[in-house]
């Protein structure tokens, strides 16, 4: 089988999602520094990075998916996993966190910057701008939903 089948066989996500993530620069064991994101967001918005955000961004931060068009149950939106997308929108995240009932740390944006992505301390990923909704219970599931267009 192909290399992209390996991750799928581990049950982390589908072969399609694995292929898109690898094309975007992800590989098993990927780790990027999060300190600069943490510093900038703390200085500009008072954001406090929690461990779930740190783990997610260390593995996936900086990746972008341009997948757009029809998906499985909704349109594929494309996403960019850059927490600095919300650098000046701490008030938006305050409202989204209040609605979610959990502190959300920005991890990126989707759908051409019309939706922010935030992660709660328990690892749940939320999406929103004017209002918030639970995207997925885990970061892996959130990535698969965004890539494959799953509601």
Could you read off the pLDDT tens digit of each residue along the chain, which spans 151 residues? 333 334 443 578 899 899 999 999 999 999 999 999 999 999 998 999 999 999 999 999 999 987 666 667 666 777 999 999 999 999 999 999 999 999 999 999 998 778 999 999 999 999 999 999 999 999 999 999 998 877 7
What's residue 94's pLDDT?
A: 96
pLDDT at 3: 39
The pLDDT assigned to 111 comes to: 80
**3-state SS string for the chain:** CCHHHHHHHHCCCCHHHHHHHHHHCCCCCCCCCCHHHHHHHHHHHCCCCCHHHHHHHHHHCCCEECCCECCCCCCECCEECCHHHHCCCHHHHHHHHHHHCCCCEEEEEECCCCEEEEECCCCCEEEECCCEEEEECCHHHHHHHHHHCCC
Structure pTM? 0.88
pLDDT at 70: 62
The predicted structure's pLDDT at residue 148: 85
- Amino acid 36: pLDDT: 97
Q: What is the CATH number of domain 3-148?
A: 3.40.1580
């Amino acid at each position: 089988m192909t290399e992209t089948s390996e991750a799928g066989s581990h049950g982390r996500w589908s072969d399609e999602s694995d292929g898109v993530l690898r094309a975007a620069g992800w590989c098993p064991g990927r780790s990027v520094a999060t300190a600069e994101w943490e510093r900038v967001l703390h200085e500009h918005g008072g954001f406090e990075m929690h461990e779930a955000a740190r783990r997610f961004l260390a593995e996936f931060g900086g990746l972008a998916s341009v997948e757009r068009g029809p998906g499985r149950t909704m349109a594929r939106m494309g996403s960019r996993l850059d927490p600095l997308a919300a650098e000046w929108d701490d008030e938006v995240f305050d409202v989204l966190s209040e609605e979610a009932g959990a502190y959300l740390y920005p991890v990126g944006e989707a759908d051409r910057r019309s939706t922010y992505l935030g992660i709660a301390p328990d690892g749940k990923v939320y999406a929103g701008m004017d209002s918030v909704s639970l995207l997925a219970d885990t970061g892996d599931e959130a990535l698969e939903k965004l890539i494959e267009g799953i509601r």
